[in-house]
Amino acid sequence: MRAQFLSGYILLALLFLWSLIAGNFEFLIYAGVTLALLGFLHYTDVRYQHHASVLWMFDIWIVLHILGGLLVVGPAVLYSFTLVPIIGEPYQILKYDQVVHIYCYFVIALLVYRIVKQITRADVSFTVLATIVVLTACGIGMLNEVVEFLAVVSLPKTNVGGYENTLLDIVANLLGALFALPFFRRYG
């Protein structure tokens, strides 16, 4: 097993444990989803040989995710913390949550590029390939928002924001995928 996967599984075990100790059932759900995603990457690694650096980036995202949802800073978790007050209420830009979304979907786009590049014809243009990758990364981001919605409707208390938060997450996901464009050839 590659070190990046072992590290990821250990981090997820810590996430499960910390969530249980904190009584944070929302993050138990997210830990399960993240485990499924890491398992998918592990399974597909045999065929697509994900770039080692990008897998380490994914592990870093797991750490950022754990801290965001479980580390309390003042009255709320780190995900709620405004890093740089660019725009105030009701949008609260730039929050830790938005930065982590940008970073996560930057990494997801790099992972998706590696797969899509290998399963498409050699004569497919970079523009077509990049469009497919960005839209796929955004689609994965939409699934993340569905999981957040399911947490909101099934748990009595979550730290998921409202409509503005969901849309800001979607915009951050798109930005992250777009920021990955110049790095596709390097990590693909």
| Model confidence pLDDT, tens digit, residues 110-154 | 999 999 999 999 999 999 999 999 999 999 999 999 998 888 898
Structural domains in the chain (count): 1
Contact 83, 94 (CB under 8 A): yes
Chain mean position to CA 140: 9
Distance (Å, whole) CA 143 – CA 130: 20
DSSP 56: H
Contact 126, 138 (CB under 8 A): no
Strands (DSSP E) contained in 32-166 are: 72-73, 76-77, 82-87, 93-95
Residues 6+ apart with CB under 8 A from 43: none
Whole-number pLDDT of residue 166:
92
Residues 6+ apart with CB under 8 A from 49: 114
Q: Of all residues in the chain, what percent carry a pLDDT higher than 70?
A: 99
Reading the block at residue 2, the tokens are: 């590659």
Q: What are the Cα distances from residue 56, in Å, to 13, 146, 175, 182? A: 17, 26, 21, 19
Whole-number pLDDT of residue 184:
94
User: What 3-state DSSP class applies to 17?
Assistant: helix
Expressed as residue numbers, the domain containing 179 is 3-187
| Model confidence pLDDT, tens digit, residues 93-110 | 999 999 999 999 999 999
